[in-house]
Structure 1
Amino acid sequence: MLDTKSAVKEIDPITVQVVLGALENVAVEMGHKLARMSYSSIIRESEDFGCALVDIYGNQLCESSHSTPLQSGPIPGYVKGIREIMEERDDNFSPGDIIMHNSPYHGASHGPDIGICIPVFYQEELIGFSVTTAHHLDIGASTPGSCGIVDAVDAYAEGLQFKAIKVYEKGKKNRYVWDLLMDNIRAPKMVVGDIEAQIAAAKIGATRYIELLDKFGVDTIYAASNELMNYSEKMMREAITKLPDGEYKAEGFLDGYLDSADSYKKDLKICVTVKVSGSELTVDLTGTSPQVKDRPINMPLVGTVDIAVYLTLRSILLDSTTYGDFSQNSGLSRPIHIIAPKGTLCNPVFPAPTIARFTSGNMIADTLMKALAQVVPDQVSAGIGNLQVVAFSGLANEENYWVYMDIMEGSYGGRYGKDGMDAVDTLYANTRNNPIEDIETHYPLRVNRYELRDTGCAPGKWRGGIGSIREITFLEDGSFSVEADGHKFAPWGFKGGENGTVGELSIREQTGDTIKLPSKLPNRPAKAGSTIQLVGPCGGGYGNPLERDPEKVLADFLDGYISAETALEVYKVFITETNTIDYEKTNEWRRRKAE
């Protein structure tokens, strides 16, 4: 078998591009088929899944372009973890094996993100793996849903653990594993149906991979893959060499558990030091708060922290506007090194729980971007507004669970030359929102309100992105749980831009009483008629507000994003009663302020 790290076969650039297109088409087909075959909205609508092919050495060859980075990115880690476990068990891969895996201490992003791995054999030799990952709406934890399990005391309380379990062995279905799934998961038909969809999509990937080997030959596929990874590595190294050697530090903070009496569970620090030396870059997370031993805000190093780092560096240093599109593969990470002390939030020790690592990992990415802002200020945004993930659940006919997961988008900070993006999933999330029609068709919920926040955007030469407001009413008795962040620490402003606005969570009960809730909420009952209000954070502003184009200030006013008072007090733009700009007064006010 040809070693992809030292391929000897010469290959021309045209063949490389043909092979690249063929590999990417396989991953795209896997993704489309998985989305079409899935039962749950989190996969079908939000596209919270990943698909990729991985070679025998653990290198990712391609990924589904319309999946989320937090699903596709960890796939090499899933494969590595599976292989480690199987070696410990003295087990082997065989044709017909299908492996289920979700251990966050063996490469998985967190427990609900189940990976399905099919070893691919060609001419009786193992040559790689076809893998799908997806978020599942229940994993058998202590309370319904697979998010908002924010009170889990250890990894065992987070739900079922599958460590390289063969659900098919040599082509034969292991019925006992499937019985266990059906007996221990709420809404089993939906969850098991989604797992079967993953298997079908992974089978498609394995079949197409073999077809490519038949068409091009093993040596050509491996030589092209090696060339593509070397090219990606070269691009990343060239981008790193443009940075001045040195160290660049930043800090960020997580809410943690704001309602906790224990100080070590809240106001948690994220420390990032970027060390640049030639074409090598190290992200050192030393100084980050210790792990929270009995709460699942901790982040797996492999599967969450590394993906947050790799994605942020690629997005900032290799912006597609400048560098164009090129292959997403393992070559990009070769020049990047991560230091994460064990026993911290970013490298916990088993059995510390990790299921609620979503918003924590986003803060790793945000703080890394803040550090990079010192050397590439024109390539970053100001602070991002973090996300809120809600699990709604209830019993239909008092015996069958329904579960729905909603990822409420955040917002970006202002960027050089552009305002922040409003109401979008930020950084490594990249999921889509669920259509209101889909929610109300499948669940006893009504979406009463879904709109951008009023008067919340952070001032700047380029204003911060605006978070959204969503109000959802229970039509039947049920419950909900939430994992979120950014309710205490506002997104950071940059280069004179103001800080953003924090998020909020509250419930208006059927009695009419409104209760403010913390950003992390364990499962809480809700009576029919109760309404949850989710308010997303607004990103930070970028640049001096006095330098904002007055016409853009007027447009923000007309759109209802700011008031006339804010336009005058913050931007020094005078808007008349006829909704026009008085430029004489505006120029005078701005001149006075500058003095």
Structure 2
Amino acid sequence: MGVQTKSAAIDPITAQVIRGALENIAVEMGHKLARMSYSSIIRESEDFGCALLDADGQQLCESSHSTPLQSGPIPGYVRGIRRILEERGDTFRPGDVIMHNSPYHGASHGPDVGFCIPIFYKDELIGFSVTTAHHLDIGALTPGSCGIVDAVDAYAEGLQFKAIKVYEQGKKNEQVWHMLRDNIRASHMVVGDMEAQIAAARIGADRYLELIAKFGLEKVLAASEDLMNYSDTMLRNAIRNLPDGVYYAEGFLDGYLDSPDPERRDLKIAVTVTIEGSEITVDFTGTSRQVDDRPVNMPFEGTVDVAVYLTLRSILLDSTIYGNIPQNSGLTRAIKIVAPEGTLCNPTFPAPTIARFCSGNIVADTLMKALGQVVPRQISAGVGNLKVIAYSGLTNGNYWVYMDIMEGSYGGRFGMDGMDAVDTLYANTRNNPIEDIESHYPLRITRYELQDDVSAPGQWRGGIGSVREVQFLADGSFSVEGDGHKYAPWGFMGGIDGRVGQLLLTTAEGREENLPSKIPNRRAKAGDKLTMTGPCGGGYGDPKKRSPQQVLSDVLDGYVSKDTALRAYGVVISESDEIDEEATNQLRGAAQ
């Protein structure tokens, strides 16, 4: 197991200095990974994770500008790698670099490939430096690593890397790298990103050893344990302030709306939250059974647990109130997660999992809904889900692959309107600049804007989804992984439900076709356009309690029409764009 974490006392000032050093190491890893990467999904969207762990696999720090869905699973990656190596009679050695992406051994899903470097000090294993990142192709049945929504099992989702030593005791395993280049589309880009991950992980390992050389191993480990205990204490205190009890909510996924099989549609996520003292249990009993031959299932470790940890930490330890709580494994100790095997939240191998993203967003959204019964002022109303579109094609016999994250929106919150057109919950990626897309791929963005007059009414309105229109400049193909075309984001405390999303294909000849939220790889011709409309978050609170001045501001900004102001908010706005206070008071008084 290597060197164990020390429990020796350490003064708080030194602990905070070491904390800052650890966090800076992770930040440096992230910045350099982004700078060295080839693909826009890492370079622009920042869909990656970086973290340092101790010898027991406890996370000590993570890159602050990476996505929680990448950094959060890293302890699970290490646990899975360790388990596989032990089964093989192998172990960690100095100079090893281990590649891993098995969703049944801790990874979030197959395209999120991790590279793990064991860190040795005086011939003893003292920790791990790990990077994860989303890769745009891993050799699945069709191009792209998202939108493989018709995969029938784990084998159809692409190459499986189960604790593969790509470097063994410092020596590069050339045969593995030949296999990668021979089986991955756009291999120059993908393999280049993998090499960037290794370089960033080596930077983390080197910096960690430099930190130990400065402070000593025992002091660094003592500070790490102190920081984890602090995070644990803060979360437990927040849980202890909640009323004990059992709270239930459920949410629904579209699934495959065009499928004749009812087991693929209208999939339920059931969440029961039990609060007892300083501990909290999240139980998914009652969730729909796994879909055996479609990849909307979620790895229990790597996706479901991350959705739970992130949601609880964000709601119970809001950074505006508590400040910057150290992000480490201490934040998971007070939380127990239960999910029956064979369900969407705990599938059994070889059920496919590659399209687990939108499913996991509903897990987080439904957990938040349950918590609304306990902390109504700390949650948002229902969240609009995302779409992920994989574009691809051939140019002179070589593949190009691009992944576009179509953002969603948040519901309204107590005292604040929902955020418009943003990545949501456990993802936290950025959109790609239009200039970057059009300079690298045969695609043109012909429209990108917020929708008009669609925000869900509430005392605090729901966030607005965007409209994004992409035109093919050359023949190619696309596939879509999305959700939220049937079930609108929920309104809260009298707020109105949000709006569902939409996907429209307009051919070069002008024919239009409404598409469901999940589309397996489909050919497209030059001139074809995809118009993606994002869902709008739910409203929070009675719309009639929204101040007339806020309603007028929304009208002037073009978010709300005068008709909606009158009908939904009871606010009368004159032709000269002023509030008719007498008519508004009469209308609102009559409604009460």
User: Residue in 2 aligned with 1:409?
Assistant: 407
User: Partners in 1 of 2:323 and 2:558 — Cα distance?
Assistant: 36
User: Residue in 2 aligned with 1:584?
Assistant: 582
8 Å Cα contact 2:254-2:266 kept in structure 1: yes
Which amino acid letter does the alignment assign opposite residue 57 of structure 1? D
Correspondence 1:93-108 to 2 at 5 A:
93-108=92-107
Which amino acid letter does the alignment assign opposite residue 113 of structure 2? I
Determine whether 1:146 maps to 2:145: yes
8 Å Cα contact 1:142-1:159 kept in structure 2: yes
* SS of structure 1 residue aligned to 2:399: strand
User: Residue in 2 aligned with 1:11?
Assistant: 10
Q: What does the per-residue CA deviation read over 1:222-268, in whole Å, with 9 as the maximum and x for residues that have no partner?
A: 10000000000000100001111110000000000000000010000
Determine whether 1:431 maps to 2:432: no
* SS of structure 2 residue aligned to 1:392: strand
- Deviation of 1:424 (Å): 0.5
User: Residue in 2 aligned with 1:542?
Assistant: 540
User: Residue in 1 aligned with 2:168?
Assistant: 169
Q: What does the per-residue CA deviation read over 1:303-326, in whole Å, with 9 as the maximum and x for residues that have no partner?
A: 000000000000000001111112
User: Partners in 2 of 1:274 and 1:146 — Cα distance?
Assistant: 34
8 Å Cα contact 2:414-2:540 kept in structure 1: yes
User: Residue in 2 aligned with 1:461?
Assistant: 459
Which amino acid letter does the alignment assign opposite residue 89 of structure 1? R
User: Residue in 1 aligned with 2:382?
Assistant: 383
- Deviation of 1:564 (Å): 1.0
Determine whether 1:574 maps to 2:577: no
User: Partners in 1 of 2:14 and 2:325 — Cα distance?
Assistant: 15
User: Partners in 1 of 2:454 and 2:341 — Cα distance?
Assistant: 39
User: Residue in 2 aligned with 1:196?
Assistant: 195
Determine whether 1:593 maps to 2:576: no
User: Partners in 2 of 1:110 and 1:561 — Cα distance?
Assistant: 37
* SS of structure 2 residue aligned to 1:292: coil
User: Partners in 2 of 1:101 and 1:377 — Cα distance?
Assistant: 40
User: Partners in 2 of 1:20 and 1:488 — Cα distance?
Assistant: 45
Task: Pick from 479, 485, 488 the counterpart of residue 486 of structure 2.
Answer: 488
Measured at CA, do residues 2 and 478 of structure 1 come closer, stay the same or move farther in structure 2, by a change above 3 Å? closer
User: Partners in 1 of 2:498 and 2:333 — Cα distance?
Assistant: 35
Q: Is there any run of 5+ residues in structure 2 with no aligned partner, and where?
A: none
Which amino acid letter does the alignment assign opposite residue 489 of structure 2? P
Determine whether 1:512 maps to 2:510: yes
Q: What does the per-residue CA deviation read over 1:382-436, in whole Å, with 9 as the maximum and x for residues that have no partner?
A: 0000000000000012x10000001111000000000000000010010000000
User: Partners in 1 of 2:401 and 2:162 — Cα distance?
Assistant: 25
Determine whether 1:52 maps to 2:51: yes
Which amino acid letter does the alignment assign opposite residue 3 of structure 1? Q
8 Å Cα contact 2:3-2:126 kept in structure 1: no
Determine whether 1:333 maps to 2:332: yes
Give the TM-score normalised by the residue count of structure 2: 0.99
User: Residue in 1 aligned with 2:353?
Assistant: 354
Q: What does the per-residue CA deviation read over 1:470-489, in whole Å, with 9 as the maximum and x for residues that have no partner?
A: 00000000000000001100
User: Partners in 1 of 2:339 and 2:294 — Cα distance?
Assistant: 19
Correspondence 1:244-259 to 2 at 5 A:
244-259=243-258
User: Partners in 1 of 2:335 and 2:250 — Cα distance?
Assistant: 20
Which amino acid letter does the alignment assign opposite residue 109 of structure 1? S
* SS of structure 1 residue aligned to 2:569: coil
User: Partners in 1 of 2:217 and 2:229 — Cα distance?
Assistant: 18
Q: What does the per-residue CA deviation read over 1:136-158, in whole Å, with 9 as the maximum and x for residues that have no partner?
A: 00010000000000000000000
8 Å Cα contact 1:2-1:219 kept in structure 2: no
- Deviation of 1:451 (Å): 0.4
User: Partners in 2 of 1:524 and 1:10 — Cα distance?
Assistant: 61
8 Å Cα contact 2:499-2:536 kept in structure 1: yes
User: Partners in 2 of 1:34 and 1:530 — Cα distance?
Assistant: 35
User: Partners in 1 of 2:446 and 2:63 — Cα distance?
Assistant: 34
* SS of structure 2 residue aligned to 1:413: coil
User: Residue in 2 aligned with 1:372?
Assistant: 371
Which amino acid letter does the alignment assign opposite residue 382 of structure 1? A
Q: What does the per-residue CA deviation read over 1:542-583, in whole Å, with 9 as the maximum and x for residues that have no partner?
A: 000000011111111122222111111111101111111101
Which amino acid letter does the alignment assign opposite residue 346 of structure 2? N
User: Partners in 1 of 2:162 and 2:453 — Cα distance?
Assistant: 48
8 Å Cα contact 1:477-1:526 kept in structure 2: yes
* SS of structure 1 residue aligned to 2:99: strand
* SS of structure 2 residue aligned to 1:557: helix
* SS of structure 2 residue aligned to 1:354: coil
* SS of structure 1 residue aligned to 2:359: helix
Correspondence 1:204-283 to 2 at 5 A:
204-283=203-282
Which amino acid letter does the alignment assign opposite residue 356 of structure 1? A
User: Partners in 2 of 1:138 and 1:486 — Cα distance?
Assistant: 25
User: Residue in 2 aligned with 1:421?
Assistant: 419
User: Residue in 2 aligned with 1:320?
Assistant: 319
User: Partners in 1 of 2:81 and 2:470 — Cα distance?
Assistant: 40
8 Å Cα contact 1:239-1:318 kept in structure 2: yes
User: Residue in 2 aligned with 1:22?
Assistant: 21
User: Partners in 1 of 2:453 and 2:364 — Cα distance?
Assistant: 27
- Deviation of 1:183 (Å): 0.4
User: Partners in 2 of 1:180 and 1:590 — Cα distance?
Assistant: 69
8 Å Cα contact 1:2-1:222 kept in structure 2: no
* SS of structure 2 residue aligned to 1:416: coil
- Deviation of 1:94 (Å): 1.1
Divergent runs of 4+, >6 A: none
Which amino acid letter does the alignment assign opposite residue 414 of structure 1? G
Determine whether 1:156 maps to 2:155: yes
- Deviation of 1:3 (Å): 3.4
8 Å Cα contact 2:120-2:126 kept in structure 1: yes
User: Partners in 2 of 1:303 and 1:552 — Cα distance?
Assistant: 41
CA RMSD after TM alignment = 0.7
Which amino acid letter does the alignment assign opposite residue 519 of structure 1? S
Measured at CA, do residues 8 and 404 of structure 1 come closer, stay the same or move farther in structure 2, by a change above 3 Å? closer
Q: What does the per-residue CA deviation read over 1:302-354, in whole Å, with 9 as the maximum and x for residues that have no partner?
A: 00000000000000000011111121000010000000000000000000000
User: Partners in 2 of 1:71 and 1:64 — Cα distance?
Assistant: 10
User: Partners in 2 of 1:93 and 1:235 — Cα distance?
Assistant: 34
- Deviation of 1:8 (Å): 3.7
Correspondence 1:520-531 to 2 at 5 A:
520-531=518-529
* SS of structure 2 residue aligned to 1:433: coil
User: Number of residues paired by the alignment?
Assistant: 591
Which amino acid letter does the alignment assign opposite residue 128 of structure 1? G
Percent identity, aligned pairs only?
73
User: Residue in 2 aligned with 1:88?
Assistant: 87
* SS of structure 2 residue aligned to 1:570: helix
Measured at CA, do residues 571 and 8 of structure 1 come closer, stay the same or move farther in structure 2, by a change above 3 Å? closer
Which amino acid letter does the alignment assign opposite residue 4 of structure 2? D
Q: What does the per-residue CA deviation read over 1:340-390, in whole Å, with 9 as the maximum and x for residues that have no partner?
A: 000000000000000000000000000000000001000000000000000
User: Partners in 1 of 2:219 and 2:325 — Cα distance?
Assistant: 19
Which amino acid letter does the alignment assign opposite residue 232 of structure 2? E
8 Å Cα contact 1:257-1:520 kept in structure 2: yes
Measured at CA, do residues 121 and 2 of structure 1 come closer, stay the same or move farther in structure 2, by a change above 3 Å? closer
User: Residue in 2 aligned with 1:472?
Assistant: 470
* SS of structure 2 residue aligned to 1:243: coil
* SS of structure 2 residue aligned to 1:573: coil
User: Partners in 2 of 1:353 and 1:456 — Cα distance?
Assistant: 35
User: Residue in 1 aligned with 2:449?
Assistant: 451
* SS of structure 2 residue aligned to 1:537: coil
- Deviation of 1:2 (Å): 5.8
8 Å Cα contact 2:7-2:225 kept in structure 1: no
User: Partners in 2 of 1:57 and 1:533 — Cα distance?
Assistant: 48
8 Å Cα contact 1:411-1:422 kept in structure 2: yes
Q: What does the per-residue CA deviation read over 1:448-505, in whole Å, with 9 as the maximum and x for residues that have no partner?
A: 0000011110000000000000000000000000000011000000000000000000
User: Partners in 2 of 1:278 and 1:263 — Cα distance?
Assistant: 41
User: Partners in 2 of 1:66 and 1:562 — Cα distance?
Assistant: 33
User: Partners in 1 of 2:48 and 2:32 — Cα distance?
Assistant: 11
8 Å Cα contact 2:247-2:373 kept in structure 1: yes
